[in-house]
Amino acid sequence: MTDYNFAYLDEQTKRMIRRAILKGIAVPGYQVPFASREMPMPYGWGTGGVQVTAACLVPEDKLKVIDQGADDTTNAVSIRRFFQRTANVAVTEATEEATVIQTRHRIPETPLTEGQILVYQVPIPEPLRFLEPRETETRKMHELEEYGLMHVKLYEDIARHGQIATSYAYPVKVEGRYVMDPSPIPKFDNPKLGQNPAIQLFGAGREQRIYALPPYTEVVSLDFDDHPFQPSKAAHDCDLCGAKDSYLDEVITDDAGGRMFVCSDTDFCAGRRAKGHTGRLGEAA
Amino acid sequence: MIEAATPSDTTPPDLTREPMELPATRPLRLQALTRGDEGFVLSMAYSTQRGYGRTHAFVGELRIGMVAVEVEIPELGFAVEIGEVELTECETVNQFKGSKSEPPQFTRGYGLVFGQSERKAIAMSLVDRALRWEELGEDFTGAPAQDEEFVLMHCDNIQATGFLEHIKLPHYVDFQAELELVRRLRSEAQAMQEAAE
Ligand SMILES: [Zn+2]
């Protein structure tokens, strides 16, 4: 078979997903159930994000796909190829050029702009899941805005560890109403969620949920007055481009404990190097 | 002597076209079990035989046959018959001494599965019967096979396989975040210990 409906999904399905997206945008942070379809990729590999992207794409779009911040990771490469083949859309690695960006585990370092759509792949959309495994219970807790359990968990962290011991998928409160799971992005990325000019859409295929943050939404990482939220990263600069403010991967370089720290956002790092910035191990472009 | 199975013309919900809603109706539960992993359904059924939500089943009907498969093409708006598929169907008759709401009678469990698989069809019937505790006025004993959300949300092996195997994908961004956290917690714990000495 060589012909696909544009972006793989049939038009009825896209309509159904768009309705869920619109509902999500109308009620920021609320998890909208949707009839997730079986996709030609395994669950847990971005089926939710792919369906959301498919429902958003138009032929004029320019698509960027990243996993762990990188365009050349296996999941990102597969999904980018999938849409090249089924939607024939242009693709890019440059954050500022992209109209739709599908991501797993990161928000790009380059600030997003109005008109861009950021689509997150979400494994477990329910922020309360590991406190209460039953969906029937957690939906009630959201309805009643009963988030005491989450605050108790964060408080117990502080009592035991002196700080909130959550480093990624750090829960946020949206517009003072819904507690939301931002997907497993490092908490370093949390400040980028709020007041973002782009539309942020979250797709969880296996769990059949879509949720959204419209542009310029108020998003607050949960914390306490005396233990304010702190984004964190490795205390280094990028060894290739010298960036002081980007999220870093730690790469082991030999068997003697040698290591380097490099930007996880490959486009951001390459862009800085192209402009002549260098780090400890970098060479000027 | 056996519970009435009242015929209904209501169109059942379609699990492939609507998200799973809990609590689920019986048609939705049956669809999920039919699609469920044979090993999972078998183990759940076996657990009811060993007393975790006992189902006291006798096999009332067990048969194998071919049925036509129709596929509705969304863009065309009509159904096309694409072939035949083999199914195994089972109906169990279950002992039931009655409850507050129901008189003593035989109750039913139902299984319908793809292929020639008496084992899965019987297993499905037992699990179906165990999940019907509420409508028959039985007690929830905490048995896994009675727990609708646990059974229905974990029986799909396509979902389970995908999510399990996705941990092969890179996770180094999350790992790095966790690494920094553990390093910080350890250095603070060590500093506290040294201060105490
Ligand atoms: Zn860099």
Is the per-residue pLDDT at A46 higher than 80?
Answer: yes
Say if CB A166 and CB A186 are below 8 A apart: no
The partner residue sitting opposite B74, judged by closest CB among A12, A44, A75, is A12
In this prediction the pTM is 0.94
Contact B172 A68 (CB under 8 A): yes
Contact B179 A250 (CB under 8 A): yes
Q: Provide the β-strand partners of residue B66.
A: B86
Ordered alpha helix ranges (H), A144-265: 148-161
What average pLDDT does the segment A227-252 reach? 94
- Residues in B touching A38 (Cβ below 8 Å): 16, 158
Q: Would you tell me how many other CB atoms lie within 10 Å of the CB of residue A107?
A: 29
And the tokens for A272? 């800085």
Helix, strand or coil for residue A128? coil
And the tokens for A161? 């560890």
A168, A169, A249, B133 from A188: Cα distances, Å: 8, 10, 13, 48
Contact A247 B173 (CB under 8 A): yes
- Residues in A touching B20 (Cβ below 8 Å): 208
Is the per-residue pLDDT at A1 higher than 50?
Answer: no
Please, which pLDDT band fits residue A2 given cuts at 50, 70 and 90? low
Contact B169 A67 (CB under 8 A): yes
- Please give the backbone phi and psi of residue A175, each rounded to the nearest 5 degrees, phi first: 50, 35
- The bridge status of strand A90-91 relative to strand A62-67 is parallel
The amino acid at B129: R
Rounded to the nearest integer, the mean pLDDT of chain A is 95
Is the per-residue pLDDT at A181 higher than 80?
Answer: yes
Task: Specify the residue for token string 């942070």.
Answer: A29
Structure confidence by residue, pLDDT tens digits, B10-48: 899 999 999 998 999 999 999 999 999 999 999 999 999
Structure confidence by residue, pLDDT tens digits, A192-212: 999 999 999 999 999 999 999
pLDDT at B83: 97
Instruction: Give A71 Cα–ligand 1 centroid separation in angstroms.
Output: 14
Q: ipTM of this model?
A: 0.92
% of residues, chain B, pLDDT over 90:
73
Residue A12 distance to chain B (closest CA, Å):
7
Q: Would you tell me how many other CB atoms lie within 10 Å of the CB of residue B103?
A: 9
Nearest residue to A37 via CA among A58, A17, A23: A17
What average pLDDT does the segment A257-268 reach? 96
Q: How far is the C-alpha of A107 from the C-alpha of A117, rounded, in Å?
A: 12
Helix, strand or coil for residue A91? strand
Intervals of chain B under pLDDT 70: none
E strand spans, B4-139: 57-73, 78-94, 107-114
Q: Is the dihedral of CA B123, B138, A130, A16 positive or negative?
A: positive
Instruction: Give A213 Cα–ligand 1 centroid separation in angstroms.
Output: 28
